[in-house]
Amino acid sequence: MNIIVINAAPRMETGNTQVILLPFVDGLRSTGAQVDLVFLNRLKIERCCGCFTCYAKTPGKCVHTDDIPELMERIRVSEALVLATPVYIDGMTALAKTFIDRLVTFMDPHFIEVDGEVRHPLRWEFPNKIFLVSVCGFPGVENFDPLLLYMKRMAKNFHATFAGTLLRPATFSVLMGRKYPDQVQAVLDAVRAAGVEFACDGGVSRSTIEAAAADICSMRELVDTANAYWDRELQKSKKSHL
């Protein structure tokens, strides 16, 4: 199975998105899946300007000259697309959305009816599975609700199956490995298992999803630890401005 994994976090290797993505990709690869891991922030990606040139004037060709055509070639040969994005103000990163908007070049301008809704047909092959990996700072999987709804609708736009999610809230607590080594390890093990399941079964079981999102510490401890961290950072910056 060819899987393209798109990391849409601006912090790339240094962020929590990648902390979660690494064991997931390790799980995918352990099954023999071919994984093409892309860091969007390393690419030149212009914003869609909505000119529709790619619809009719130069069908399938955008006015921008950047890294998107080459990335689209890599998407076309993939059977699954995994989008990994942190939650930024209840949605995906601007980087992720800029990338997705540019995929409009995949669409033929005609309208067709699909399951009682209207869509565009696609010009080229698109991965038939879309999967979401996401992390967020606050505890509670409800923080992913708007993003989840978006991904389900987006999959319909690309005539793909929304193949599920791997969600890790309270990312701060994943960094508490020294205090909670067993809990953190259990989360990372579940994330890796999610990679194996997705590659083998095309989806991830509820028990694995829940284990990956499990609380590592209480909400009270998370709040106190986060506040103590930010107080220290604020103190440091006060001192450096003296």
Ligand X SMILES: Cc1cc2nc3c(=O)[nH]c(=O)nc-3n(C[C@H](O)[C@H](O)[C@H](O)COP(=O)(O)O)c2cc1C
- Residues engaged in binding ligand X (CB under 6 A): 9, 11, 15-17, 86-90, 135-138, 143, 171
Contact 235, 228 (CB under 8 A): no
For ligand X, the closer of residues 1 and 175 by Cβ is 175
Taking the CB of residue 228, how many other CB atoms lie within 10 A of it?
10
Shortest Cβ distance from residue 80 to ligand X (Å)?
21
Least separation in angstroms between CB 41 and ligand X: 10
What gap in Å lies between CA 103 and CA 48, rounded to an integer? 9
Smaller CB separation from ligand X, 145 or 231: 145
Nearer Cβ to ligand X (93/157): 93
DSSP-derived secondary structure letter, 121:
P
Closest CB to ligand X: residue number: 15
Q: Give the nearest distance from C-beta 87 to ligand X in angstroms.
A: 4
Closest approach of ligand X to the CB of residue 82, in Å: 15
- Cβ proximity of 172 and 226 under 8 Å: yes
- Determine phi and psi for 122, rounding to 5 degrees: -95, 145
**Shortest Cβ distance from residue 240 to ligand X (Å)?**
21
If the CB atoms of residues 195 and 203 are measured against ligand X, the closer one turns out to be 195
Task: Classify each residue of 127-160 as buried b or exposed e, where b means 16 or more C-beta atoms within 10 Å of its C-beta.
Answer: bbbbbbbbbbeebebebbeebbebbeebbebbbb
CA–CA separation, 49 and 67 (whole Å) = 16
Which residue, 12 or 122, has its beta carbon nearer to ligand X? 12
**In angstroms, rounded to a whole number, what is the distance separating the alpha carbons of residues 47 and 100?**
10
